[in-house]
Structure 1
Amino acid sequence: MNISFQQITKSKDKPLVHHHHQIRINRSRDLVAYLRYIIDHYSNLPSSIAFVHGHRTSWHQRDPSDIVTALRALQCHKYNYMPLTNKKTEHEFKQNSRNRQDRVNYNLWKAVLQKELRPAPANGIRTHCYVTFAVKREAILTHPTIVYSNILDYLLTTSYSDYYTSRTLEYAWHIMLGEPIHINYTTCDIFFDKENAALVFCGI
């Protein structure tokens, strides 16, 4: 099955082409753009959305074609949330941790996620995540727009560095979008290249 994607780019710079949209302030790296898109298009979201970097490469996306390979092989109706990377992470959400990231994780969760979801994961998270992922419309719509607006407001006003807040949301997206705290995806869970009858994963 061939799947086409409508491209929408959000940038702090002045829009150059019709699918570019300007955001007023860019904090927390990619997340302000993601949240702004969800809020702006909440009533007419497509059935599946892929959130990806605006830049061509990153440490977990070694080549621009990685993301293209992943999207082409994506089994886009299998899960609510589908990571577009083969990288896994483990992180804690602890108020009194010596690790600053763990403290930011806890405080952001308590401030804007706990009321809508549940208390922060007591044993942290262990899963594939990070900032490039695909998601079903239904998963986004399980939360009202005010939830996404509250997260956006927090990111724009918090005194924490966006180095930390951006990572907290990376660790939390899958939970927000209906998946278990701990997920052990295998390659065939997410991607399958039918044309070549081979399993693929972004970055491999």
Structure 2
Amino acid sequence: MILIPLRKDLTILSALGSSLQEAARNLSTTDKPEKSGLPLSRCLVIASTAEQDTSWVNIQLGNEVGLTKRIYVVDNASSEFTVPLNKGHEAMVYLTYIIDEYDNLSEITLFLHAHQFSWHNNDLLDRDAAEMIRRLIPGYVIRNGYVNLRCQHDPGCPAHIFPHEPSPDPAYPEIAVMGPAWTEIFPGELVPTSLAQPCCAQMAVSREAILALTRQRYVDLRDWLLQTPLGDELSGRVFEYTWQYLWGQRYEYCPSQSVCYCDGYGICFGGEEQHATYETLKHIAENMDTTLKMRALDEVTDSEGITSRDTLLKSKESIEVRLESWKSSAIMRGTDPRNGVFGAGRPRTAIEAP
């Protein structure tokens, strides 16, 4: 017998119904103002291994205006783009690209893994890296200098890396080495009390932010990777929680998920509360789906009685229809960049002025 809070979820759903309808009515459908000039130049840097299929990059993004691609193969010395040593996971690729192209950087560099679809890509973009790249708003990167491409906080936020922690969590072995590594990477600087950002080392960085450090600094960082006794995965984990400080000058980078989606990708639900409502409904639908997959019989049991499988299936499908409708409205609302301004609580730029 499977006990799940179906009645509780349905009660929450009923309470949220009016909130959904009101938010949908308030969504703006203003057309996106026409931008002048050519799009900003972008370079997509992919860290891959020989066995990974990266054909999606050209298939999905071959017609993207202003986008160049660099696919590094870390375990193939004869590849057009490779690294001096397969160590440090994606960090070795990112640093090698910057060192090689320091004087020829695009206005925006996107650093990503080789998978098109992955659990750590954004849920609202179907966990599709190609869609993330297509929808990423260049102005969001230019304004911030450094942005983590993942909007969901977990894992990585809130802070869970505590370099001074005397008894580190065995699930996060990087905690035990972060303090000593930090003193080597940033000599003379204090070791932070905590570090955080959404996983998993996929980011977009402006040329200005990259050039704020000298080329020699990047050479030194790569030399640390080459020389550290830490292994491939652990040395890469150190950098995973270092990028936000290197380019963003902050120990903890956990921006609002609502702002990330709206200002960064043009998916605007109308504010924190509306976005949270959407996430709650999505969780309810996922809970129902899990129950249906686990229970093959005609009935599922909750803590208060019997709910027919057909009833549960219809409820789940109804929620999914509403979620898709609300998401479509949020995407339409995001076509007006002024909605990103309101969602982020920042001043308008010239192109966003009414």
1:126–1:22 distance in 2 versus 1, CA, 3 Å: closer
Q: Which residue of 1 aligns with 2:68?
A: 6
For structure 2, which runs of at least 5 residues remain unmatched after alignment? 1-34, 41-65, 269-330, 336-354
Deviation of residue 65 (structure 1)?
6.2
1:197–1:114 distance in 2 versus 1, CA, 3 Å: farther
Q: Does the aligned pair in 2 maintain the 1:129–1:174 contact within 8 Å? A: no
Deviation of residue 56 (structure 1)?
3.4
Q: Which residue of 2 aligns with 1:135?
A: 205
Q: Which residue of 2 aligns with 1:21?
A: 81
What TM-score do the two structures reach when normalised by structure 1? Answer: 0.81
Q: Which has the higher contact order (CA 8 A, sep 6+)?
A: 1
1:7–1:78 distance in 2 versus 1, CA, 3 Å: same
Verify: 1:52 aligned to 2:112, yes or no.
yes
What amino acid sits opposite 2:190 in the alignment? P
Q: Which residue of 2 aligns with 1:112?
A: 185
Q: Which residue of 1 aligns with 2:62?
A: none
Verify: 1:159 aligned to 2:229, yes or no.
yes
What TM-score do the two structures reach when normalised by structure 2? Answer: 0.49
Alignment coverage as a number of residue pairs: 192
Q: Which residue of 2 aligns with 1:35?
A: 95
Q: Which has the higher helix share?
A: 2
Q: Does the aligned pair in 2 maintain the 1:78–1:190 contact within 8 Å? A: no
Q: From 125, 137, 140, give the equivalent of 2:195.
A: 125
Identity of aligned residues (%): 24
For residues 173 and 60 of structure 1, what CA distance do their matches in structure 2 show?
17
Q: Which residue of 1 aligns with 2:128?
A: 66
What amino acid sits opposite 2:192 in the alignment? P
Please identify the structure whose Cα radius of gyration is greater. 2
Q: Does the aligned pair in 1 maintain the 2:118–2:128 contact within 8 Å? A: no
Q: Does the aligned pair in 2 maintain the 1:81–1:179 contact within 8 Å? A: no
Task: Give the root-mean-square deviation of aligned CA atoms.
Answer: 2.6
Q: Which is worse superposed, 155-164 or 57-66?
A: 57-66
Q: Does the aligned pair in 1 maintain the 2:117–2:129 contact within 8 Å? A: no
1:83–1:174 distance in 2 versus 1, CA, 3 Å: same
